[in-house]
Structure 1
Amino acid sequence: MGLVSAMVLADAGIDVEVFERNATVMEDLRASTFHPPTLDMLAPYGISDVLVESGLKARFTQQRDRRKGLIAEFDLARLEGSTAYPFRLQCEQWKLNLELVKKLEQYPHAKVRFGCAVEAAGQDDTGVTLKVRTLDGLEEVRGDYLIGADGAWSTVRRSLGIEFEGYTYPERFLVVSTEFPFEDQFENLSWVNYISDPEEWCVMLKVPSLWRVLFPTAEQESDERVLSDEFIEARLQGLLPRPERYEVVHRTLYKVHQRVASRFRLGRVMLAGDAAHINNPLGGMGMNGGVHDAFNLTAKLIDVIEGRAPDSLLDQYERQRRTVAIEYINANTARNKQLIEERDEAVRDRIHAELRATAADPQASMAYIRKTSMFDALERARSIA
Structure 2
Amino acid sequence: MGPTAGLASDVVVIGAGPVGQTAALLCSQWGLRVRVLEAQTHRDRTGSRAICQQREVLDTWDAIGAGVLIDRGITWSRARTYYRDKEIFSVELKDRGSALLPPFVNIAQSEVEETLLGLIERSPLVDVEYGAKVTRLQSENDKALLEVDTPAGARRIESRFVIACCGLHSEELRAQIGVDFPGQSFDDLFLICDIKADLREQRGERRFHFDPNWNPGRQVLIHEQPDSIWRVDWQVPEDFDLAREEATGGLHRRIREIAGCQPYELVWRSVYRFQGRVASRFRHGSIFLAGDFAHVFAPFGARGLNSGVHDVENLVWKLAMVARGLADSRLLDSYEVERRAAALENLEVTSATMRFLVPQTEADRRRRTLLLEGAAHGSRAAISAVDSGRLYEPYWYVDSPLTTPAPGRTFGGRPSRGEPVDPVPGTVLPDLPLFASSGERRRPQRLRQLVHHTFTVLSDEPSFVQALEHLPVEVMDLNRLDPKRSLRRALDLGDRPVHLVVRPDGHLAAMIEGNPSGVPVALQRALGNASA
Query: Could you say which residue in structure 2 is the equivalent of 1:346?
Result: 370
Query: Could you say which residue in structure 2 is the equivalent of 1:130?
Result: 146
Q: Is the 8 A contact 1:37 1:83 kept in 2?
A: no
Q: Secondary structure at the match of 1:334?
A: helix
CA shift, 1:347, in A, is 1.9
Query: Could you say which residue in structure 2 is the equivalent of 1:211?
Result: 230
Which 5+ residue runs of structure 1 have no aligned equivalent? 360-364
Query: Could you say which residue in structure 1 is the equivalent of 2:467?
Result: none
Q: Secondary structure at the match of 2:174?
A: helix
Q: Out of 95, 108, 111, which is 1:79 matched to?
A: 95
Q: Distance in 2 between matches of 1:135 and 1:232?
A: 40
Say yes or no: does 1:192 pair with 2:209.
no
CA shift, 1:268, in A, is 0.9
Q: Secondary structure at the match of 1:26?
A: coil
Letter in 2 for 1:170: D
CA distance 1:338–1:117, change in 2 (3 Å): same
Q: CA RMSD in A?
A: 3.0
CA shift, 1:45, in A, is 1.9
Query: Could you say which residue in structure 1 is the equivalent of 2:483?
Result: none
Q: Out of 52, 56, 60, which is 1:37 matched to?
A: 56
> Once the two structures are superposed, what CA deviation does each residue of 1:34-67 show, in whole Å capped at 9, x if it has no partner?
111111222222213x002221111322122233
CA shift, 1:352, in A, is 5.5
Q: Is the 8 A contact 1:201 1:341 kept in 2?
A: no
Say yes or no: does 1:306 pair with 2:324.
yes
Q: Out of 129, 136, 139, which is 1:120 matched to?
A: 136
Alignment of 1:1-385 (within 5 A): 1-28=19-46, 29-48=48-67, 50-68=68-86, 70-76=87-93, 78-79=94-95, 81-154=97-170, 155-184=172-201, 190-197=204-211, 199-209=217-227, 210-222=229-241, 224-225=243-244, 230-237=249-256, 239-240=257-258, 242=260, 247-327=265-345, 329-341=346-358, 344-350=368-374, 372-377=391-396
> Once the two structures are superposed, what CA deviation does each residue of 1:143-163 show, in whole Å capped at 9, x if it has no partner?
111111000012532331311
Q: Whose radius of gyration is greater, 1 or 2?
A: 2
Q: Is the 8 A contact 2:188 2:358 kept in 1?
A: no
Q: Distance in 2 between matches of 1:167 and 1:130?
A: 30
CA distance 1:33–1:311, change in 2 (3 Å): same
Q: Secondary structure at the match of 1:248?
A: strand
Q: Distance in 1 between matches of 2:33 and 2:356?
A: 46
Q: Secondary structure at the match of 2:274?
A: strand
CA shift, 1:164, in A, is 0.7
Q: Distance in 1 between matches of 2:194 and 2:285?
A: 43
| Number of positions where the alignment pairs a residue of Structure 1 with one of Structure 2 | 368
More RCO (CA 8 Å, sep 6+): 1
Letter in 2 for 1:125: N
Q: Distance in 1 between matches of 2:25 and 2:262?
A: 47
> Once the two structures are superposed, what CA deviation does each residue of 1:271-297 show, in whole Å capped at 9, x if it has no partner?
000000001110111000000101001
CA distance 1:59–1:379, change in 2 (3 Å): farther
Q: Secondary structure at the match of 1:195?
A: strand
CA distance 1:189–1:335, change in 2 (3 Å): farther
TM-score, normalised to structure 2, is: 0.63
Q: Distance in 1 between matches of 2:375 and 2:290?
A: 34
Q: Distance in 1 between matches of 2:248 and 2:268?
A: 11
> Once the two structures are superposed, what CA deviation does each residue of 1:220-257 show, in whole Å capped at 9, x if it has no partner?
334544565633234334x4484688642211112210
Q: Is the 8 A contact 1:61 1:191 kept in 2?
A: yes
Q: Distance in 1 between matches of 2:205 and 2:355?
A: 22
Q: Distance in 2 between matches of 1:353 and 1:183?
A: 28
Q: Is the 8 A contact 2:197 2:259 kept in 1?
A: no
Q: Distance in 2 between matches of 1:222 and 1:384?
A: 51
Question: Which stretch has the larger CA shift, 59-68 or 296-305?
Answer: 59-68
Q: Is the 8 A contact 1:323 1:381 kept in 2?
A: no
CA shift, 1:341, in A, is 4.8
Q: Distance in 2 between matches of 1:322 and 1:354?
A: 38
CA distance 1:83–1:241, change in 2 (3 Å): closer
Q: Distance in 2 between matches of 1:282 and 1:85?
A: 22
Letter in 2 for 1:372: L
CA shift, 1:8, in A, is 0.9
Q: Secondary structure at the match of 1:316?
A: helix
CA shift, 1:177, in A, is 1.5
CA distance 1:223–1:267, change in 2 (3 Å): farther
Higher-helix-fraction structure: 1
CA distance 1:141–1:241, change in 2 (3 Å): closer
> Once the two structures are superposed, what CA deviation does each residue of 1:317-353 show, in whole Å capped at 9, x if it has no partner?
11111111112x1122222333345674212234567
Q: Is the 8 A contact 2:290 2:308 kept in 1?
A: yes
CA shift, 1:219, in A, is 2.7
Question: Taking every aligned residue pair, what percent have the same amino acid on both sides?
Answer: 27
Q: Is the 8 A contact 2:25 2:120 kept in 1?
A: yes
Query: Could you say which residue in structure 2 is the equivalent of 1:362?
Result: none
Q: Is the 8 A contact 2:222 2:232 kept in 1?
A: yes
Q: Is the 8 A contact 1:168 1:256 kept in 2?
A: yes
